[in-house]
Chains A and B, each alone.
Chain A
Amino acid sequence: MANKRVETGRGRKPGVVKSSKSSTSNRAFFLLIGSIAILGIGALTYLSTRPSGAAAAASPIDTTLPKIESQGYVIGNASAPLEVTEFGDFECPQCGRFASISEPDVRSRLVNTGTIRFRFIDYPLPMHANTWNASRAAACAAEQDKFWEMHDAIFANQDRWNGEATHNPDKVLKQIGAQIGLKTDAFNQCIDTKKTQAKVQAHYEIATKRQVNATPTFVIGDKQIAAYMPYDEFKKLVDDALAKQGTPVASPADTTKAPANDTKKSVPLKKGQ
């Protein structure tokens, strides 16, 4: 038996390995593997190094559209030279990412310095089960002049109330409302009666009229960008828009590192009209 093994060659079975001697097959194999590897690495390198930032994703806006006015929720100085609008969905992970990573800087360095005014308009996407509840709750908080506190808390707690976490989002949203200091009786009643449904619906319609089809979508100057943005890209687009309309770009002092969350309380709050 041992002899037989030596003769046949260890583990080599002619029925299975038909082509081990065929060098053309090997050459074809290595050629194929090599070209796929080169193609794949080349494509990935190209895709990850080309300018893929928000500026690249920006599309020009039809300037004949009427200005977005008196809708959504506004934070910042009414006389700020530029208004930036975000169409957002409270259950969208990328909106949550923007709210928690970029927005603190946007508030402290651009909104609080009077460079921009920031408007948030709900665009609850149909694929998110609980997003309408969150939009209604935020609108309820706005009735107590606490929209932005609620906005931040809703995004920060996305994983507690989203469609994956619960079938009863209102319960969690009520808890969040209580945590940020809302008058719970009025707030809970507002949620239970869906009092703010029409307002959210109106915001949704603004977004669909403007053919927004993704969140977050930002309108900065004459550009529309449907993508998450880190602060630096956001700032660049703001600078570009300011330069285009002839307003001097914010001084470099504005770009010094500021603690992200320290200004939230001092921000002037304005309820959407």
Chain B
Amino acid sequence: MSRRKWMAVVSLAGLFLGAYLTLYHYGFIGTLACNVSSCEKVQTSRWSMFLGLPVATWGAGFYVLMLVLTVAGLQPRYESSRTLSLVLLMMSGWGLLFTAWLNYLEAFVIHAWCEWCLGSATLVLVLFVLSFLDWRAVESSGNVEELTAD
């Protein structure tokens, strides 16, 4: 399977993770309380909201966008689009930074780890690595093409 296909698979998995945490945040799944341990503590902390929406919802949105872009990137038209691979790289890079910030908060401010958030962090890291490899491949093949084309 190509890198972009793997990216689509990872994005879809991330989308469900974000959807789960969003539903949890709004109390559709399980019960909500302010807890002194682990996931509940993270999920009910004040950092679980970002610009008026749960962080999990932003995450789900991010994965939807990544999924749409990677599936588009599977179409022959965009298979070697340098812009698309750059957008994917920048998006996953941004996602990685945001996740790193959240992990920093978990470690040093909230002092609790939410295993679902760590799962998402892993997915984002995988997405970033894949999109970096994809970008490098597209870039190098693009250069070859340009040389031969001119």
Contacts and interface: CB of A to CB of B under 8 A. Distances in A.
Interface of A: 1, 4-5, 8-20, 25, 28-29, 32-33, 36-37, 39-41, 43-44, 47-48, 52-54, 56-57, 89, 92-95, 125-128, 162-164, 213-217, 226-228
B23 A16 contact: no
A25 B36 contact: no
Given A9-B76, A44-B20, 13 more contacts: A11-B77, A12-B80, A15-B137, A19-B1, A19-B2, A25-B2, A40-B19, A52-B31, A93-B34, A127-B45, A227-B32, A228-B31, A228-B33
Contacts of A89: 34
B9 A17 contact: no
Given A213-B36, A226-B31, A11 B23 contact: no
B110 interface: yes
B33 A227 contact: yes
Contact of B13 (A9, A13, A40, A44): A40
Nearest to B41: A127
B50 interface: no
A4 B79 contact: no
Interface of B: 1-2, 5, 8-9, 12-13, 15-16, 19-20, 23, 27-37, 40-41, 44-46, 76-81, 110-112, 137-138, 140-142, 144-145, 148-149
A213 B37 contact: yes
B127 to A, nearest CB: 15
A228 B33 CA distance: 6
A25 B1 contact: yes
